[in-house]
Structures are given as C-alpha cells and as structure tokens.
C-alpha cells in the first residue's frame, strides 16, 4: 500500500496483523509443524526476507510455503503459478480470500509475507518484521541441525539499531524515492538513501557482515534491497547516483551473500522485474520490462573472505533447495 500526494513523502501503510505464532501459543496460535502456510511472492523484498530466513533455518517441512505470481491487481496477489490458478493446500485463487476469512471487513493491505492457518484458512499475521524474528526465536525446536543463530542474544541491541536505520533509509528509502509526490520529496529521499549507503560502505569496508562475524538478521534485511537495486531501483525508482555494480564494497558484500547458500538460490530476477515494471503502471505506463541488466556478475569472485568471518558460525550451510522450490535456472544465475 502507498500514499502519494503532491509535496508529500511516500507513506507505507504499516497497519499489520500483529498476532504472533509462538512456542507457548499465547496469542492462540502455537507453533505446530505443518499447521501453517507461509505465503510469499519472490518479487517482494519484504517476503523475500522470510524466504531466506526459512531456508537458512531449515524450516521447509515445518512451515510449507506458497508462492504467488509476480503481478497482482488492486485486489490481491494471485496463485497463478499453480495448476488451475489455485493454491493446492488453501484452495484459494487470491490471497485476499485468506484475509477476508480472518476479517470480512478487512480494509488494509493484502500483503506478503503472510502466514495462514490452514485449518481455518485465515491469515494469522502479515507483520513482516516480526515474522522473521519469530522464525528464529519461536520456531527454534524445528530448526535444522547446524542452523545459524541469526539473532544472537548478545548482539540484538546492535542488530535492532542497524535494522531500524536500514529500514527507514534503505529498504523503505528506495520506495520513498520511487513514489515521491514532488521533486522536493524525491530529492530528500534520494539524499537520505545514498547518505546511508555511504555509511554502510564505510562499515562494510572493514567488516564482512553488518553485525558480528557471522550472518545475522541484519544482513538478510539489507540483502533483499541490494539484490534488487540494479534490476529495478536504479532505473525504475530513479535511485541512479550509481549502480550497485559501480559501488565496490557494497557490490562485493552483496555478491558474497548471493553466493552463500540460502540467499541467491531464493532470488528470482524474472519475477522481480515483472512485478515492478508491470504493476507500477503509474511509473512505467508502457509496461515494458527491461531486458537487462546482465546478471552474470553475481557469480564473480568477491574477495570478502579476506575480512574473516564465517557465514554460519559454528553451523553449516543448508542443504540444496528441494526440487519443488527451485528458482528456474533462466530466472537467476546459480553457482554450478
């Protein structure tokens, strides 16, 4: 959801369903393997966070996933990738149906990620920021052996602080620029975005990861914006001071993560481009989807190992992606 008016900044509708799925079930929804369905769209950066975290933690069997198509209309994301255009478990054509099952008068954003209670067909939560933290904390009993600690207790204050500024000035900053309602609003968003990217460049020039010496929740949240930068944000959202590929430190950092199991193997550039260039017809009224950029650079050596750090700490990489969840090879560059 977005709000734009002349002379005003972009405002994100943040009225989420904040019910939580917890180990003790205090909100009425206990963690139970197989009970819930994580609904995502690979096009969406907010949903992509949940896809990455779920895979890193090995929650594929405990929390099955439904993937919506890359485009939607004013009503909802749709399950047009599935046979007959229906999710095979929920039996619905549109995610909107699960929101209305929860609240027939629901008038907020039909957003992904959303976790649906399969027995009732109702959305439990679409609070994307909380979902990934709860996957780390509340679903711990079902993590794979060797799963990384993405939200280590000792580092939580620093992770939270980094996440707050990255959300405001980078994750949401690209949208502020892209949907600005005036030249002044755009200039402000553009300035804030690149000022923060400059500070992140300084931070990552001396450290392989954002917080500590292993991958954390902070890296997941920054990655999902960086991986979309050259494909859509640079041109489509006018975030064009320079491309990510022209920013050596951030480009190497993003490639390092992309080449780490659990990150790049979840990315679908075809879905990403079709979503932004087709759905945002106010920005791109022709509906033309660019052919570029060249994606082969994502697999180039990054050299970040020289900074030390271990991506999974004392843990191990996740197993290869299951056949049913693989991104088509022509939609993303994948290591051999």
Residue found under tokens 């997941």: 220
User: Alpha helices, DSSP H only, in 154-305?
Assistant: 156-166, 173-178, 183-204, 217-228, 248-258, 269-274
pLDDT attached to residue 75: 86
Which of 35, 22, 51, 28 lies closest to 113, judged by CA?
51
pLDDT at 251 over 60: yes
pLDDT at 134 over 80: yes
For 185-242, the pLDDT digits (tens) are 999 999 999 999 999 999 999 999 999 999 999 999 999 999 999 999 999 999 999 9
Please, which pLDDT band fits residue 324 given cuts at 50, 70 and 90? very high
Rounded to whole angstroms, the Cα distance separating 51 from 266 reads 7
Read off the pTM.
Answer: 0.96
Rounded to whole angstroms, the Cα distance separating 310 from 308 reads 7
Rounded to whole angstroms, the Cα distance separating 203 from 217 reads 16
Rounded to whole angstroms, the Cα distance separating 202 from 242 reads 17
Which H helix or E strand runs over 11? strand 11-12
Catalytic residues: 44, 175
- Residues 217/318, Cβ–Cβ less than 8 Å: no
Of the chain, the end-to-end C-alpha distance in Å amounts to 38
For 283-318, the pLDDT digits (tens) are 999 999 999 999 999 999 999 999 999 999 999 999
């Amino acid at each position: 959801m977005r709000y734009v008016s002349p002379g005003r900044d972009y405002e994100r509708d943040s009225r989420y369903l904040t019910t939580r799925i917890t180990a003790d079930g205090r909100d009425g929804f206990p963690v139970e393997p197989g009970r819930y369905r994580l609904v995502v769209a690979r096009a969406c950066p907010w949903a992509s966070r949940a896809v990455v975290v779920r895979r890193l933690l090995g929650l594929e069997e405990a929390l099955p996933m439904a993937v919506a198509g890359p485009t939607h209309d004013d009503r909802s994301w749709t399950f047009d990738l599935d046979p007959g255009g229906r999710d095979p478990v929920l039996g619905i054509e549109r995610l909107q149906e699960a929101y209305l099952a929860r609240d027939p008068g629901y008038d907020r954003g039909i957003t992904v990620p959303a976790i649906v209670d399969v027995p009732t067909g109702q959305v439990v939560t679409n609070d994307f920021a909380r979902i990934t933290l709860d996957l780390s904390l509340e679903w711990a009993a079902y993590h794979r052996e060797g799963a990384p600690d993405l939200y280590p207790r000792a580092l939580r204050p620093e992770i939270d602080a980094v996440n707050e500024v990255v959300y405001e000035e980078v994750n949401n900053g690209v949208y502020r620029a892209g949907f600005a309602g005036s030249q002044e609003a755009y200039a402000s968003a553009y300035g804030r975005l690149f000022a923060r990217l400059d500070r992140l460049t300084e931070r990552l020039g001396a450290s392989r990861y954002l917080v500590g010496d292993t991958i954390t929740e902070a890296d997941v949240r920054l990655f999902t914006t960086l991986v979309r930068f050259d494909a859509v944000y640079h041109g489509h959202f006018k975030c064009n001071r320079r491309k990510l590929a022209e920013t050596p430190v951030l480009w190497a950092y993003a490639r390092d993560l992309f080449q780490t199991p659990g990150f790049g193997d979840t990315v679908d550039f075809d879905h990403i481009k079709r979503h932004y260039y087709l759905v945002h017809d106010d920005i791109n009224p022709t509906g033309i989807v660019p052919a570029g950029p060249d994606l082969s650079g994502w697999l180039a050596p990054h050299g970040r190992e020289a900074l030390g750090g271990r991506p999974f700490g004392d843990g191990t990489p996740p197993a290869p992606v299951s056949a049913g969840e693989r991104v088509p090879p022509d939609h993303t560059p994948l290591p051999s």
